[in-house]
Each structure stands twice: as structure tokens, then as C-alpha cells.
Amino acid sequence: MEPSVPLLSRRIEMRKLLCLSIALLVTCLLPTALWPQSDSVRYIPKYYDPVLEEMEDIEDSLQEIQDSITSEIRDRQEEEKEQKKEDKKELRFDFADVTKPASPDVFESVFRFPPVAQYNTGTCWSFSTTSFFESEVSRLTGQEIKLSEMHTVYYEHIEKARNYVRERGRFWPGQGSESNAVIRMIRKHGIVPYDIYSGLADDQERYDHTALSKEIRSYLEHVKSHDYWDEEYVIEHVRVILNKYMGEPPVSFEYDNRTMTPHEFLESVLKLNLDDYVGTMSTLKVPFYTQGEYDVHDNWWNDSSYYNIPLDEWYGVIKNAIKAGYSLVIGGDVSEPGWNGFEDACIVPDFDIPQDYINQDSREFRFYNHTTGDDHGLHLVGYTEIDGRDWFLIKDSGRSARHGQFEGYFFWRDDYVRLKMLTFMVHKDAMKDVLKKFE
């Protein structure tokens, strides 16, 4: 009898499975060498086409030639730049026929410490006014105490940053300011001796606020660009920058075997009455015998307390004050042909303007068209007369005052003061008759 179809199919499947098993067993038992061989890979050195290599070498050679030519051109341009810098000339007045003071010793002058250099900073306003207050302390109390310029500068930066936040980034005034700012900062933060706080961080020997100013400005621009106006948060970050470059001012310190704060030092040691000092200008922008704003960039807080008086009276106060033993902080323009640090002297030459034409109008015209600018603050410390002309001894923290024979000093003739100086600060007793006109 023949098997059924399902049974036949199962037998066929079983035979297939048996054959497959036998084949796998044989494969496993056979030596590897008898296996069928397959394709293989291996690493070989990279082939560089010699024609393309030659072409690349030619291109490299051509580029080297171009680079060499470019380098020669750049070197020539740099040499030309240096030569132009070396050959550059400034228009300056020839002092050969000017009879000027022989030295600072010929002046009747007030006590002051030797000139201090501000180096690479825009802080003449603090150096000149601090020197002024040192002279005032000596005049009023007989004490000779060297004060810290940078204590005031530190806190002025804080107040500038605070104003920047409150005005939502209207502008950043930079390093400049005015003599009145020193009074503002001393009122708010006191003052300390130089030995307590020099403002020179680490092993610095010279003041350089380039990086300091750049970092503060960069940070405040970041604040503005992100519209972030948390005042105290911003101020704390500015303090970190200031502390990095200037060191942190003391909250209290030891002086004369006493522990005191900067305010206590002001009141108990210096004994300065800050209300006794007045800022004065002479401009046609404000009615005479009224107080008004000194309209310049460095008066960034818009101080409008300046007493405005006519030029002849303004100059008379300066002359009479120094002759009576009062020194003054004075500020104005220091970029004229008659300004010469190598001669230690400043005058107004006739080719600029004839002497008889120096008056209120010519002064105002130069202020209006910006040929007279608010460039620099200085300390007027002495007076003498030569051949009927007034000469003033000026203590200056700027670099040009160190180019001549008498480091840190200038001799100014009367015409320079009348035409180019814009403001002064003095003790009110030195101009009490003038101040009565404001009552």
C-alpha cells in the first residue's frame, strides 16, 4: 500500500534537515585551509600623483613669492609711518624774545607738595583739586598732609556708573570730571591720606587707567545692550573692576594713633569746611552775577552752582587771591601754539590774536567754536611780575609739564589766563566782595 500525501511530505522535510545537518558537520570538521577563499583588504601607502604634486609645488612657490612681496611692502609702509611720526612737527611759538621767569623760585607762592604725575589717566581734575586742598589744609591749620587723589577717583567712577544706570545708558563720561566733583565725592565718601590709599594696585609704580576704563565701559555697554538696570547689581560689578585695578579703599584706618573713618579724618584732622569753596566762570551764556551751569562734557552731573562774573573781574579775583596767599584750582585749554612744555611757559602770541583784542568777546568766540576747550585742570600756586606783565606759577600733573627744566611746573603769562582759562575754584573769602553782588 502507498503512503499518504501528508506522510510523504514529512519524510521529504526530514531528509532535507538530515542533509543540512550532515553538511554543517562536515564543514565544521574540515581544515580551514580547505574552505573556499573570499576577497580581502589591506593598507597600502597613499599614492600622490606626481603631476599634481608638481603643480602644487609651483603654486606654493608662487604664494611664497607673493608673501615675500607683501612682507616687503608692509615693512616699507611701517618704516614710512615711523618716519612720518619722527618728522611730524607741531606749530609752536618761538620764545626767544620773551622775558619769562627764571625758575619757580622767583614766584611768591603758597605751600604745596612737589608735583605728582597723573601718567596715563584722565584724572587731572582730581590731582589739581587734591593739591589745592593740601595747600588749603596748610594755610588753615599749618599741617602738611599728602592726600589721596585716587580715593576720590574711585568713588567718582562709582557715581558715574550709578548715573549711567539711572539715565539708562544716556552716555558714559569717561575719566574726565571737574574740580567741583572732588567736593561732591569728599562730602559723600570722605578722604584719606595718600599713604593709606594710593590707588596703585599690586606692584604698580605709575598710574595707568587704560585697561580700567576700557573694562568698565565694556561692562556698562553690556548692561545697556541687555537692558539690565539693577542699580546695586551693576555697582557691585563696577566695584569688582575698580578693586582689581586700584585696590579697595579702606572703611577705617589708623592715623595718629587713632582709628578713624574717611569722614572723621576730614572733620577732625583736615578741618575743611567744604561750603567755603566756590566755582567761578566768565561766559556770555549765563547772565553775569547769577549762578549757572558750566556747559562742558566733563560737568556730566550738570552742576549749575558756578558763579558767573565779567572777565576783568574774574581775572582780578585770580590775581588778588594768589597775591593774598590763596591758591586756586584753574581749568581750561592747553592745546595752543603758545603752550610749550620744553620752555616751561605759556603765552598767547600776537599771530594768534593781538594782545589788545583779548577781551570777553574774543574769549567767548573761542569757547563757542571749540578752539578753546575744557582740556585740563591745574593748581595755580604762585605769582610774580616781570616787565609789567603778570606771571603765574602753575603746578601741573600732565606729561607736557615734565618736558622742560622744571618738572611739573609751568609759567603762565596773564594773556593765557584771560583768553584760555575757563573756570577756577577758590576759598570764598578770596572773593567776598564779588559774592556780595550775588545777594
Q: Find the angle CA(309)-CA(313)-CA(317) to the nearest 5 degrees.
A: 105
Let me know if residue 23 belongs to a domain.
no
Cross-strand pairs, 382: 109, 393
Let me know if residue 33 belongs to a domain.
no
Let me know if residue 89 belongs to a domain.
no
What is the reported pTM? 0.84
Among left, alpha and beta (phi > 0; psi -120 to 50; other), residue 337 is alpha
pLDDT for 27: 54
Report the 10 Å Cβ neighbour count for 41: 5
| Helix, strand or coil, per DSSP, at residue 227 | coil
pLDDT for 35: 56
What backbone torsions phi and psi does residue 385 show, to the nearest 5 degrees?
-125, 130
State the CATH number of the domain containing residue 106: 3.90.70.10
Let me know if residue 153 belongs to a domain.
yes
pLDDT for 165: 97
224 is in which domain, residue-wise? 95-438
d(C-alpha 358, C-alpha 168), whole Å: 42
pLDDT for 74: 94
| DSSP state for residue 310 in the 8-state scheme | -
Let me know if residue 43 belongs to a domain.
no
Q: What are all long-range contacts of 356-359, with beta carbons under 8 Å and residues at least 24 apart?
A: 358/415, 358/418, 358/419, 359/311
pLDDT for 203: 81
Give mean pLDDT in consecutive 10-residue pieces for the chain, a chain of 439 residues. 55 64 55 66 91 91 93 94 90 88 98 97 98 98 98 98 96 94 98 97 91 97 96 97 97 96 98 98 98 96 97 98 98 92 95 96 96 96 97 97 96 98 98 95
Taking the CA atoms of residue 45, residue 51, residue 53 and residue 55 in that order, the dihedral angle to the nearest 10 degrees is -170
Let me know if residue 331 belongs to a domain.
yes
Between helix 124-141 and helix 149-166 the angle, nearest 10°, is 130
| DSSP state for residue 275 in the 8-state scheme | G
For cell 596767599, the residue is 325
Burial class for 245, CB neighbours closer than 10 Å (0-12, 13-18, 19+): buried
| DSSP state for residue 267 in the 8-state scheme | I
Q: Are 346 and 416 in contact (CB under 8 A)?
A: yes
Let me know if residue 90 belongs to a domain.
no
How many angstroms from the chain centroid is the CA of residue 32?
Answer: 84
Let me know if residue 355 belongs to a domain.
yes
Structural domains in the chain (count): 1
